[in-house]
Structure 1
Amino acid sequence: MNEMIDYLQSSWWIFLLRGIAAIVFGIMAFVWPALTLSVLLVLFGFYVLIDGIFGLIDAVRYRDRLPRVWPLVLESVLGLVVGLMVLLWPGVTSLVLLMFIAAWAVVGGLIRIVLAFQIRKEITGEWVLILGGILSILFGGLLVALPQVGLVTLVWLVGFYAIAFGVLFVMLAFRLRKLGTAADTFA
């Protein structure tokens, strides 16, 4: 355990650099959301494509040892197709993802409203379910009506996460540095 602590203390500056990089990325996501979305889509496309290629190679390599290799082949081919689609049509891909989110919100909202009316005799406060359902439907409708705003919001959420993650890593780095300095003082 001491080896791990010693390693972490001696490499505190790596956490600092990672934290700063995450904060810079998060700020860039807020300043240039369209560029950030494009870069994220390209990275995702390459990831899924490479994952599909390696999955297919693996499935072919172990086809004699696996009784059912077709699910691995199917998953790999799906990865290849999705990866190519994201790389060839990034705008369409992001819009389709957003429409799936919108459909999920609308259908989920409708289900909550129906559920509220079905259980209104057994519980009190069914209006909370109805209100939640209405808000979900409105959210889904806004995503359909204003898809660019929805995509920008998605990028901003990623940016917010990156900034929060970066701040935590910077705090960790300084804490590790302080522990290392305190250990050197007592040694």
Structure 2
Amino acid sequence: MKITDSISTELKQAHLKMLDYLQKHWRIFLIEGVVFMLLGIASIVIPHVSSVVIVLFLGWIIVFAGLMHAGRAIFFSDMPGFGLWLALGILQIVVGYLLLANPIAGVMTLTMMMALFFAFEGIIKIYLAFMIRPLPQWHFILVSGVIAFVFAVIILAFWSETAHWLLGLFLGINMVILGWSMIQMSLDHKDNQ
């Protein structure tokens, strides 16, 4: 059997599994799509606030994760890699604290990281769209991927002038587009039960 035949067979099996999953669980995709759209609209309406909220939320998550790593390392001090786990925990606590202490600088940093995220997300969505291409509405995922990649290019081109609000705005637009595509896919597969 050729490698291309094997890949084709695997893609066909993945397609059938995805189709079955979408038909059985279309309501989950619908609810998720509506939630993404609502969050996206809120982020678009108040991008400055949503940018700072994102940084503060992330800061607390990183501090909490750091406390967990450091606490586990201290509690299990005889564990292999103790120093590395403790260093990781301390690093996470420091980075989280820096985000919490200066959220505006965190917004600037996260905006740059968001450009990388959108670039990778766009590439992955485009790949997934072509992977599920025979499914109805696959082009919504493709459009979402192309837009995410374009966002990455725009962020990198205008980063210094717009970083304080662009993160919230683009994240909101991205969530609205993702939500819309999930709603469309779920409603299309609702009828195919």
TM-score class, shorter: 0.5 to 0.7
Partner of 1:58: 72
Matches within 5 A, 1:150-165: 150-165=163-178
Give the structure 2 partner of residue 25 of structure 1. Answer: 39
Deviations 1:111-162 (A, max 9, x none): xxxxxxxxxxxxxxxxxxxxxxxxxxx94xx644x3xx22222222212221
Q: Secondary structure at the match of 1:63?
A: coil
Change (3 A) 1:92 1:150: closer
CA distance in 2, matches of 1:158, 1:92: 18
Which of 76, 81, 85 in structure 1 is aligned with 2:89?
A: 76
Identity %: 22
Deviations along 1:13-48, one digit per CA (max 9) or x if unpaired, are 221111011112222222110111122112101110
> For residue 166 of structure 1, what is the aligned residue in structure 2?
179
Partner residue, 1:42: 56
Instruction: Report the CA distance shift for 1:59/1:31 in structure 2 as closer, same or farther (over 3 A).
Output: same
**1:40 partner amino acid:** I
Paired residues of 2:37 and 2:179 also in contact (CA < 8 A): yes
TM-score by length of 1: 0.60
Q: 1:17 to 1:3 in 2, by over 3 A?
A: same
Q: Which runs of 4+ in 1 moved over 6 A?
A: 1-7
Aligned partner of 2:98 among 85, 100, 112: 85
**CA gap 1:153/1:166 in 2 versus in 1, 3 angstroms:** same
Give 1:12 shift: 2.0
Within 2, Cα distance between the matches of 1:49 and 1:160? 28
Q: Give the aligned CA root-mean-square deviation in angstroms.
A: 3.3
Unpaired runs of 5+ in structure 2?
1-12, 114-155
Counterpart contact for 2:30–2:186, Cα < 8 Å: yes
Instruction: Quote how far apart the aligned CAs of 1:62 are.
Output: 3.8
